[in-house]
Amino acid sequence: MKIYNTFSKTKEDFIPLNPPKVTMYMCGPTVYDYFHIGNARSFIMADIIRRYLEFKGYDVNFVMNLTDVDDRLINRSIKDNIAVEKIAAFYSEEFFNDLYSLKIKPASFFPKATAHIREMVDIIKNLVGKGIAYEKNGDVFYNVKKFENYGKLSGKKLEELEAGSRVEVNEQKNNPLDFTLWKKTKEGEPSWESPWGKGRPGWHIECSAMSTKLLGKTIDIHAGGNDLIFPHHENEIAQSEACFEQKFVKYWIHFGFLNIQNEKMSKSLGNVFTAKEILKNYSAETIRLFFIQTHYGGPLNFSDELLGAAKKGFEKIKNLAITVDYEINKNTTDGTDLGFDFNSYYQEFSNYMDDDFNTPRATALIFDFIRNVNKVMAENSKINSIFYQKVKKFLQDTAEDVLGIIHFSELYNESNGSIENQLIELLLDIRTQLKQQKNYALSDLIRDGLNKLNIEIKDSKEGTTYKKNT
């Protein structure tokens, strides 16, 4: 199995430290708002990597942290005049709800930064003791010049960074590139006691502390969006390796960014969509299918058209799954099981996923499988139930357990679970049939009726999608 390691910029053989155990850390959300679909892409791709490692027989200890104290949270708290703890508690809960709705498997641990202040202080004390960090009036900074090869993950050289950096507002630092490990408390901010007086941790130290506490000093995989390569992950390496004097991470995995209509998602452009908003119109399976059709490492453009196409894809899988369940229930014992070569499909699925989690190829293979199963069913009138059981098992092992794009136990309520959505879909199916029969008077009646209920209908060559405007 090969993984593209951001550190070496090559695909490397995956050899975990203590197989079958694998330790994996994913930088989780700052809980100051609902998470958006860009975050969702990173969370879903990390989930699929974790699930595939489990499919391969690894015992994965998967940690995703919650940053519940940092600048963004404090700014939000000032803006809304609500305590940081209250905002963090509310959005942590919502984070778990949204993970559940997106069918993301819960991590083995979801540590909160504020529950690990002691561990952070211990690392900072160690760094100060070694002369790598220094204190100035209650703030503590990391002296990047003291860490040999600072910039080794991102490939940035200290001299270039210095030349390009703007002079920072913080006059306390010896060097503008030095980063904060501990911040002196300000009026109204959460704070903790420390050898440098009351204050709070910097963001980077949070991940170094939680990762080491829960997974050990050297871990197999550390993942996050590629916005985190510099400075966040670079700084994590500098902190952890200087403190523990051993390699911090074997494999660095970074997820490409999700853009909207070729633009960066940003609040000022008004194009930030929360996972919750998208889940109103599309099922978790459709959203996951949309994401996995692009390799995790590259950029991806988000659009309603592409989600509409993913929805059609999901319906193909679902239709086969329903047929298969129906046929298994009939329990036909005569006929043949057709000698369909399931093993080669398993083999190919593994080959693609072993190649740096090539989900686009693995997904194309599943559609190829569906096409061939449908063909076999069309060509044979009597098929033994064993065949259908094997089809179901293949789909469960791959499309369900690894990719999460079908769930056999929820076949009849996949459309976000609500009866309302299922009724809308039923009406749209009837409308499609009416249009095929050229009964435009009735098909328009359905469209106009739905429009009156603020349900917008969009026809494209991939099919019909709808959007509820609230």
Residues that bind ligand AMP (CB under 6 A): 27, 29-30, 38-39, 41-42, 224-225, 227-228, 255, 257-258, 265
- Return the number of the residue (29 or 151) whose C-beta is nearest ligand AMP: 29
Shortest Å distance, C-beta 205 to Zn ion: 10
Shortest Å distance, C-beta 205 to ligand AMP: 15
User: Quick one: tokens of 319?
Assistant: 């239709």
- Return the number of the residue (59 or 227) whose C-beta is nearest ligand AMP: 227
- Identify what 245 binds: Zn ion, ligand AMP, none; CB under 5 to 8 Å per kind: none
- Identify what 42 binds: Zn ion, ligand AMP, none; CB under 5 to 8 Å per kind: ligand AMP
Shortest Å distance, C-beta 208 to ligand AMP: 16
* Long-range Cβ pairs for the range 319-322 (8 Å, 24+): 320/370, 320/373, 320/374, 320/391, 320/395, 321/392, 321/395, 321/406, 321/408, 321/411, 322/411
Phi and psi, residue 430, nearest 5°: -65, -40
User: Quick one: tokens of 414?
Assistant: 């996949």
Shortest Å distance, C-beta 293 to ligand AMP: 16
Residue sitting closest to ligand AMP (CB): 225
- Return the number of the residue (27 or 406) whose C-beta is nearest Zn ion: 27
Query: H/E element holding 349?
Result: helix 342-354
Shortest Å distance, C-beta 307 to ligand AMP: 16
CA gap 233, 252 in Å, rounded: 9
Shortest Å distance, C-beta 28 to Zn ion: 8
- Identify what 124 binds: Zn ion, ligand AMP, none; CB under 5 to 8 Å per kind: none
- Return the number of the residue (69 or 321) whose C-beta is nearest ligand AMP: 69
Q: Would you tell me which residues interact with Zn ion (CB under 5 A)? A: 27, 207
- Return the number of the residue (92 or 432) whose C-beta is nearest ligand AMP: 92
- Identify what 207 binds: ligand AMP, Zn ion, none; CB under 5 to 8 Å per kind: Zn ion
- CB contact at 8 A, 383 and 332: yes
The type of residue at 57 is G
Helix (H, G, I), strand (E, B) or coil at 42: helix
The type of residue at 337 is D
Shortest Å distance, C-beta 226 to ligand AMP: 7
Phi and psi, residue 13, nearest 5°: -65, 140
Give CA separation, 382 vs 284, 316, 355, 387, in Å.
35, 22, 38, 11
Q: Measured on CA atoms in the order 426, 432, 437, 442, is the torsion positive or negative?
A: positive
- Return the number of the residue (36 or 184) whose C-beta is nearest ligand AMP: 36
Q: Which residues make Cβ contacts (< 8 Å) with residue 100, sequence separation at least 6?
A: none
- Return the number of the residue (44 or 321) whose C-beta is nearest ligand AMP: 44
- Identify what 39 binds: ligand AMP, Zn ion, none; CB under 5 to 8 Å per kind: ligand AMP
- CB contact at 8 A, 296 and 357: yes
User: Quick one: tokens of 39?
Assistant: 């975050």
